[in-house]
Structure 1
Amino acid sequence: MNHNDVLVGKLGRSHGVKGFNTLHSFTQPEKAILEYTPWLLGSERQIVTLESFRVHHKKIIVRINGTTTPESAKELTNQEIFVSREALAHVDSNENYWHDIIGYQVVNQQGHVFGHLEQLFDSDSLVAMTVIDKQGNQLTIPFIRDKIVTGIDASSQTIKIQWPTP
């Protein structure tokens, strides 16, 4: 993967007869993905243009330029959507994009290493992080800044947490 490209979503199954696909956005808010251009599809990073979109039953439905039939939309199913890092808004020094902290070591205030950050996810009520330890065990910890997550250090690639040692 080009380190200047950021995974922001994925195209889902075809929808309807006019070449639309469902969109799985990894951005917050979900519709923010529609503001980033251009989209780069798949491992080849094919540049595509978003022709139109609509919300249908709480799902975002999109049509990529040149996709006009269900068959052509099916060819795009499961294609990952990337954008150039430069297309993203600048964040303050005390903020981070989720993709930038994946892989960071997670350590509590007592110095206990829980493992590395595998993923962050939004579970409607809160954001949580999945941490994988040396044995491959998975731990889910709420990602609440200033309460549980007390610091993120990019230079040491460490996330400090207020969490009991097992």
Structure 2
Amino acid sequence: MGVIGKPHGVRGLVRVNSFTAEADALEAYPLTDRTGRRFALAWLHDNVAQLSEVTPHGKRPVTDRTEAETLTNLELFAPRSALPEADAEEFYLADLIGLRARSEAGAELGTIAAVHDYGGGSSLEIMPGSVLVPFTRAAVPVVDIAAGHVIVVPPAEVTVAP
């Protein structure tokens, strides 16, 4: 959902890179890090926020630069149940992981192991073989999350062995 960036000032404020459609929405989600620590944030301006760790005793704000520095590059996650339902023809990329990949003829090609996005568009990694296929309508014309599979029509330069 977001990544904590560098500290801002000396009072524990941090820059936060939000990956939500609207950056302000990040404030509404119950956030955790990879270890399960819970966080809340309050936007102050631009991408600067006051971060608090949520403990059994309540919110404990980060109040000094030294503590804020220890949080640099910390990834923030929200539970899938807290996210709104995707619209038709829209997908949460995380929901694609684990789907079976099939050819147009129905041959099993493997399983989507990861979704990568290096800035030029998303690609699906199909295992076994670690084959990358662009996640475009031309290369992946059918996504059926309910049925647990996608149809893959790889570009000519990509070989996916059934």
TM-score by length of 2: 0.70
Report what 1:41 is aligned to.
33
Q: Is the 8 Å Cα contact of residues 3 and 73 (structure 2) preserved in structure 1?
A: yes
Q: Is the 8 Å Cα contact of residues 98 and 120 (structure 1) preserved in structure 2?
A: no
Task: Count residues in correspondence.
Answer: 148
Report what 1:63 is aligned to.
50
Q: Is the 8 Å Cα contact of residues 116 and 133 (structure 1) preserved in structure 2?
A: yes
Q: Relative CO higher for 1 or 2, CA cutoff 8 Å, sep ≥ 6?
A: 1
- Displacement of 1:33 in angstroms is 4.8
Residue 50 of structure 1 aligns to which amino acid in structure 2? Answer: L
Post-superposition Cα deviations, 1:81-124, rounded to whole Å, max 9, x if no partner, equal 1223332112235432111112323333243616524114262x
Q: Is the 8 Å Cα contact of residues 12 and 77 (structure 1) preserved in structure 2?
A: yes
Report what 1:13 is aligned to.
6
Q: Is the 8 Å Cα contact of residues 106 and 117 (structure 1) preserved in structure 2?
A: no
Moved over 6 A (4+): none
- Displacement of 1:34 in angstroms is 2.1
Q: Is the 8 Å Cα contact of residues 11 and 24 (structure 1) preserved in structure 2?
A: yes
- Displacement of 1:70 in angstroms is 1.0
Q: Flag the structure with higher strand content.
A: 1
Residue 41 of structure 2 aligns to which amino acid in structure 1? Answer: L
Report what 1:5 is aligned to.
none
Report what 1:23 is aligned to.
16
Q: Is the 8 Å Cα contact of residues 16 and 48 (structure 2) preserved in structure 1?
A: yes
Report what 1:133 is aligned to.
127
Q: Is the 8 Å Cα contact of residues 53 and 62 (structure 1) preserved in structure 2?
A: yes
In 2, the alpha carbon distance for the partners of 1:68 and 1:19 equals 4
Report what 2:85 is aligned to.
90
- Displacement of 1:9 in angstroms is 2.4
Report what 2:115 is aligned to.
119
Residue 25 of structure 1 aligns to which amino acid in structure 2? Answer: S
Q: Is the 8 Å Cα contact of residues 98 and 111 (structure 2) preserved in structure 1?
A: no
In 2, the alpha carbon distance for the partners of 1:51 and 1:26 equals 16
Q: Is the 8 Å Cα contact of residues 96 and 112 (structure 2) preserved in structure 1?
A: no
Q: Say if 1:86 and 1:133 are closer, same or farther in 2 by CA, change over 3 A.
A: closer
Task: Structure 1: state its 5+ residue gaps.
Answer: 1-7
Q: Say if 1:30 and 1:119 are closer, same or farther in 2 by CA, change over 3 A.
A: farther
Report what 1:103 is aligned to.
98
- Displacement of 1:138 in angstroms is 4.6
Per the alignment, in what secondary structure is the counterpart of residue 94 of structure 2? helix
Q: Is the 8 Å Cα contact of residues 41 and 81 (structure 1) preserved in structure 2?
A: yes
